C-alpha cells in the first residue's frame, strides 16, 4: 500500500467517522442523561436524509443556485429530525420513564413505524441526490484527486464537534447536562427542571443525527435501511467510546470510521461490518462501560 492510498483511505475513514459521530454523539448523550437507549436514533438520520433530498429536488424550480438549495436542504433535514425528535420525547418517551423496558420497546417500535412511513411517502426503493455545484469537484490532496464533498463532511463534523464541545463545557446548559449525566437526581434536587433538559437534549441529538443524514444523502444515497445500518455503527461507536461520554464518542467515531475504511479496502464491506460489530461485542464483554466510560451499569 502506497502512502497516497493510505492517505486516501484515511480521509475516507475520517468522512465515515464524522457521519458516525453525528449520530453517535446524540445517542450517547441521550443515554447518559436520560438512561434511554434510543433504538429510533437511526430513524432520525434517515428522516434527515429523505427531507434534505426532497427539499433539494423540490426547490430546484424556485432556486437556481444549487449551493443555496443544498444549504436549505441541510437545515430542513436537521429541523425535521429535531421536530420529530421533540415530538417523540414529549409524546412517547416521557410517559414511560417509570417503565424503562417499555421505553426501549417504544423506540424500537418507533424505528419500525418511521421506516414504514418513509416508505409510504417516498417509496421503498432508493434514491440518489446530486451534489451541490461547488462541492461536486475533486480537490488535489497530496497529488491525488479527492472529492470535495468528503472534505465538506469532515469540516461539518469538526465544526459540530467544536460547537457542541463549547456548548457542553462553557455554557450553563452544558453544565447542567454534564451534571445530569453524572447524577440526574441530584440536579433535580438542586431545583433544575431536568425533564425540560431531557426534551432539549433529545431534540438536539435527533437534529444532529438528521443533519448527519442530510449530509450523508448525496454521499451514500437515500434508502429506507440507511437508518438501521448507520445506527448499528453508532451503537458500536457509543459502546467503544463509553455511554454518555461526548469526547469518547468523538474519538471512537474516528477510530471506527478508519477501521471501516481500511477493512472495506482489504475485505468486503459486509465482512467489515460484521467484524466491527464483533469488536463491539468484545468491548461490551470486557469493559461494558466503554473505553472512555462515563457511566456505570446497564440501566433498567
Partner 1 sequence: MQPLSSWLKARWPWLAVLACLTLAPAFLNKFYLGLMVQVFILAVFALSYDLLMGYSGILSFGHAMFFGSGAYVVGLLLKGAAWPLYAVLPVIIATGALMGVLVGIVTLRVRGVYFAMITLAFAEVIYILSASSQLRPWTGGDEGLHGIPVPAWMSPTAERVTFYYISLSFLVLMYFLARRIVNSPTGRVLIAIRENEARAATIGYNVFWYKVLIIVISGVLAALAGGLNALYFRNATPEVLGVGRTIDALLMTIIGGMGTLIGPVLGAVVIRVLGNYLADWFGPRWPLVFGLIFVALVMFFPWGIVGTLRQRPLRGLAQWIKRLSRGAGQKAS
Q: Which residues form the interface with partner 1 (CB under 8 A)?
A: 31, 34, 37, 39, 90-92, 94-99, 101-102, 104-106, 108-110, 112-113, 116-117, 119-120, 124, 184-185, 188, 193-196, 198-199, 228, 232, 235-236, 239, 268, 270-271, 273-274, 277-278, 280-281, 284-285, 288, 297-300
Radius of gyration of the chain (CA): 19
Q: Which is nearer to partner 1, 74 or 272 (CB)?
A: 272
Q: How far is the CB of 209 from partner 1 (least distance, A)?
A: 17
Residue 238 vs 261, nearer CB to partner 1 = 238
Which CB atom, from 67 or from 116, has the smaller least distance to partner 1? 116
Minimal CA–CA distance to 39: which of 96, 105, 97, 88?
105
Of the candidates 27, 25, 79, the residue with the CA atom closest to the CA atom of residue 52:
79
Burial of 256 (0-12, 13-18, 19+ CB in 10 A): buried
Q: Would you say 221 or 299 has its CB closer to partner 1?
A: 299
CB atoms within 10 A of CB 232: 15
CB 264 to partner 1: min, Å: 13
- How many residues can be counted in the chain? 300
Q: State the nearest-atom distance from the C-beta of 266 to partner 1, in Å.
A: 13
- In the complex, minimum distance from the CB of residue 184 to partner 1, in angstroms, rounded to a whole number: 5
Q: Contact 221/32 with Cβ under 8 angstroms?
A: no
Question: What's the closest the beta carbon of residue 155 comes to partner 1, in angstroms?
Answer: 31
Asked whether 88 and 110 are in contact (CB, 8 A), the reply is: yes
What are the Cα distances from residue 212, in Å, to 87, 111, 152? 20, 17, 12
Q: What phi-psi label fits residue 38: left (phi over 0), alpha (psi between -120 and 50 degrees) or beta?
A: beta
Nearer to partner 1, 75 or 92 (CB): 92
Shortest Cβ 120–partner 1 spacing (Å): 5
Question: What are the residues whose beta carbons fall under 8 Å from the beta carbon of 280, sequence distance 6 or more?
Answer: 235, 236, 239, 240
**Closest distance between partner 1 and the C-beta of residue 103, in Å?**
9
Q: Which three cell numbers stand for residue 244?
A: 454518555
Beta bridge partners of 145: 140
In contact, 146 and 139? CB cutoff 8 Å: yes
Distance in Å, CB of 234 to partner 1, minimum: 11
> In this complex, which beta carbon is closest to partner 1, that of residue 112 or of residue 141?
112
At 248, list the grid cell.
469518547
Question: Which of 58, 95 has the CB closer to partner 1?
Answer: 95
Nearer CB in complex with partner 1: 94/144: 94
Amino acid at each position: 500500500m502506497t502512502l497516497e492510498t493510505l492517505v486516501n483511505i484515511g480521509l475516507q475513514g475520517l468522512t465515515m467517522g464524522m457521519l458516525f459521530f453525528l449520530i453517535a454523539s446524540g445517542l450517547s448523550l441521550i443515554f447518559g442523561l436520560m438512561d434511554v437507549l434510543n433504538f429510533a436514533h437511526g430513524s432520525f438520520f434517515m428522516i434527515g436524509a429523505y427531507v434534505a433530498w426532497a427539499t433539494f429536488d423540490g426547490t430546484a424550480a424556485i432556486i437556481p443556485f444549487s449551493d443555496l438549495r443544498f444549504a436549505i436542504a441541510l437545515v430542513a433535514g436537521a429541523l425535521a429530525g429535531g421536530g420529530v425528535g421533540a415530538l417523540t420525547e414529549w409524546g412517547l418517551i416521557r410517559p414511560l420513564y417509570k417503565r424503562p423496558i417499555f421505553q426501549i420497546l417504544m423506540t424500537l417500535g418507533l424505528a419500525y413505524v418511521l421506516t414504514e412511513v418513509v416508505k409510504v411517502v417516498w417509496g421503498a426503493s432508493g434514491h440518489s441526490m446530486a451534489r451541490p455545484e461547488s462541492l461536486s469537484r475533486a480537490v488535489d490532496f497530496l497529488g491525488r484527486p479527492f472529492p470535495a464533498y468528503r472534505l465538506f463532511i469532515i469540516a461539518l463534523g469538526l465544526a459540530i464537534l467544536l460547537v457542541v464541545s463549547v456548548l457542553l463545557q462553557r455554557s450553563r446548559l452544558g453544565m447542567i447536562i454534564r451534571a445530569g449525566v453524572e447524577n440526574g437526581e441530584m440536579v433535580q434536587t438542586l431545583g433544575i427542571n431536568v425533564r425540560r433538559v431531557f426534551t432539549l437534549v433529545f431534540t438536539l441529538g435527533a437534529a444532529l443525527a438528521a443533519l448527519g443524514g442530510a449530509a450523508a444523502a448525496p454521499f451514500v444515497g437515500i434508502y429506507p435501511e440507511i437508518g438501521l445500518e448507520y445506527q448499528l455503527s453508532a451503537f458500536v461507536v457509543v459502546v467503544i467510546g463509553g455511554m454518555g461520554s461526548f469526547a469518547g464518542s468523538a474519538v471512537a467515531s474516528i477510530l471506527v470510521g478508519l477501521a471501516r475504511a481500511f477493512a472495506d479496502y482489504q475485505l468486503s464491506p459486509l465482512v467489515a461490518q460484521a467484524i466491527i460489530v464483533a469488536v463491539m461485542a468484545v468491548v461490551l464483554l470486557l469493559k461494558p462501560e466503554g473505553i472512555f466510560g462515563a457511566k456505570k451499569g446497564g440501566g433498567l
